[in-house]
Structure 1
């Protein structure tokens, strides 16, 4: 751990997939999930099929969102959910519920994993997070 990272009280262990994506395990509303770490994603997201698993309430109206490509997809904003680590709440966020089937299908080509969601730039920036590739940790 670097001196700079020592000021952070939460240090999550990260793991690398064959595809070079990084993920970690973190609790959302008290339930442990597997989340990709993606600073290119504006918002943190949860697979719409996991809405009940994480007890997320969605707003009724969907809206059109887009990823890095030009394709559009439907998304639902949730009421705030609690990210926690070692049973301590670290943040309350509105998530986007999206269909993550295409992401999980792509990841299955190289890794035997099913992702529950994405930790996006909204959380990473708000928490001034540091991703240490050498130690494979996310500090915030």
Structure 2
């Protein structure tokens, strides 16, 4: 199955672009994800507990570039089913992280709130291709 999802490219600072894609959560709400090709693991905001099916505390250390020299302590989580377009994603494993500070930046600059970062684990598993010219994320599953 091939899926094309619209992406939004926002400029947080001069020449500092972030690529966003939306998902539909189990309750029908739409949330934004930052596509982060440099992140090895997808990350989800632990404050959005209604969308987390399972949590394993103290299981992971996340090395985040430019955020801290020390690894961030996170827990692992499995999300409730969600949709990226027609793609239903079940049992998505994520690192759970408090994204309040990150969301403050996004809200102040672009009036956008994000629920997480889509990392290389998701992008590779779904054979993702970012088409910047057409502003589309292509998934082949």
Find the aligned partners of 2:45 and 2:59 in 1 and give their Cα distance: 14
Query: Is structure 2 residue 114 aligned with structure 1 residue 115?
Result: yes
> Do the aligned partners of 1:83 and 1:92 also contact (CA within 8 Å) in 2?
no
1:99 equivalent in structure 2: 98
1:77 equivalent in structure 2: 76
1:57 equivalent in structure 2: 54
Q: What is the TM-score of this pair, normalised by structure 1?
A: 0.81
2:23 equivalent in structure 1: 26
Shift in CA distance, 108/90, structure 1 to aligned 2, threshold 3 Å? closer
Aligned length: 132
> Do the aligned partners of 1:11 and 1:137 also contact (CA within 8 Å) in 2?
yes
Query: Is structure 2 residue 8 aligned with structure 1 residue 10?
Result: no
Residue of 14, 34, 41 corresponding to 1:43: 41
**Unaligned residue ranges in structure 1 (runs of 5+):** 1-7
Q: RMSD across aligned C-alpha pairs, in angstroms?
A: 2.1
Offset at residue 97 of structure 1 (A): 0.7
Deviation per CA, 1:16-54: give whole Å up to 9, x if none.
Answer: 1122101011134454321111101111111110122x1
Query: Which aligned segments of 4 or more residues in structure 1 are displaced greater than 6 angstroms?
Result: none
Moved more, 77-86 or 94-103: 77-86
Find the aligned partners of 1:57 and 1:129 in 2 and give their Cα distance: 26
